[in-house]
């Protein structure tokens, strides 16, 4: 099964993934472009600041590239945007942890300061949350494609029972207002 098959194109979660990727991508893109506009030296570690964070040309380049990747993910949407958000979010969190230990050392080639570390943690959590939304939880609804994938047998039973009820006229017509009652295992056995 392909990853893109899990989430229908028109599923409401795709909108969350798209907007999350686009918002975070634009934020990073603006930060990177401001760094290029200031003509920063590529590996300078003299503490030049943009938007309250220290930066250099390499950090601006990385910000632009990651921002463009997130925007591309937003354009594609669906599972691509969700997975990309989760991967980039984890990378931001790891970057924050790594840079805590190399602050004020020669290995700090991206000229990170404590503000950058905090931004990395916050942005990582935001991007990660957008990516995991509706995908990782113990309370996913039964129509959620991720719940259906993880609980294939129960989803198949529910689907079979719904088709049988529809065949016997027990479900309201499309657009009807009466909610369908959740089936138990006993109901499925009784009908089968």
User: Which pLDDT value is given to residue 177?
Assistant: 45
Q: What residues have CB less than 8 Å from 121, skipping those under 6 apart?
A: 92, 93, 96
Contact between 140 and 146 under an 8 Å Cβ cutoff? The reply is yes
d(CA 132, CA 37): 34
How far is residue 65 from each of residues 58, 95, 138, measured CA to CA in Å?
A: 11, 16, 34
Digits of tens for pLDDT over the chain (192 positions)? Answer: 444 455 444 456 677 788 888 999 999 999 888 888 876 666 555 667 677 777 778 888 899 999 999 999 888 887 788 889 999 999 999 999 998 988 878 777 777 888 888 999 999 999 998 888 766 666 666 666 666 666 678 777 877 777 888 887 765 544 444 444 555 555 545 554
d(CA 161, CA 170): 11
User: Which pLDDT value is given to residue 57?
Assistant: 80
d(CA 146, CA 140): 8
Contact between 28 and 70 under an 8 Å Cβ cutoff? The reply is yes
CA torsion 114-50-109-28 (nearest 10°) is 90
Residue 155: exposed, middle, or buried by beta-carbon count in 10 A (0-12, 13-18, 19+)?
A: middle
Token representation of residue 139? 């309370």
Q: What residues have CB less than 8 Å from 3, skipping those under 6 apart?
A: 79, 80, 83
User: Which pLDDT value is given to residue 97?
Assistant: 93
Q: Single out the residue of 6, 17, 14 nearest to residue 155, CA to CA.
A: 6
User: Which pLDDT value is given to residue 1?
Assistant: 43
User: Which pLDDT value is given to residue 150?
Assistant: 65
Q: What are phi and psi of 50, to 5 degrees?
A: -135, 130
Q: What residues have CB less than 8 Å from 184, skipping those under 6 apart?
A: none
User: Which pLDDT value is given to residue 125?
Assistant: 93
């Amino acid at each position: 099964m392909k990853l893109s098959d899990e989430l229908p194109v028109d599923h409401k979660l795709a909108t969350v993934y798209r907007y999350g990727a686009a918002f975070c991508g634009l934020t990073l893109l603006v930060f990177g472009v401001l760094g290029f506009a200031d003509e920063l030296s590529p590996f300078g570690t003299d503490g030049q600041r943009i938007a309250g964070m220290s930066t250099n040309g390499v950090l601006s380049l990385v910000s632009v590239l990651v921002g463009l990747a997130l925007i591309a993910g937003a354009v594609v949407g669906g599972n691509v945007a969700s997975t990309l958000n989760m991967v980039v979010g984890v990378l931001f969190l790891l970057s924050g942890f790594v840079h805590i230990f190399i602050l004020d050392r020669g290995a700090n080639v991206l000229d990170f300061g404590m503000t950058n570390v905090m931004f990395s943690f916050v942005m990582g959590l935001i991007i990660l949350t957008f990516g995991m939304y509706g995908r990782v939880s113990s309370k996913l609804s039964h129509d959620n494609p991720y719940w259906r994938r993880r609980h294939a047998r129960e989803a198949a039973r529910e689907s079979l029972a719904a088709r049988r009820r529809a065949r016997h006229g027990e479900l309201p017509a499309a657009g009807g207002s009466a909610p369908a009652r959740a089936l138990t295992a006993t109901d499925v056995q009784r009908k089968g």
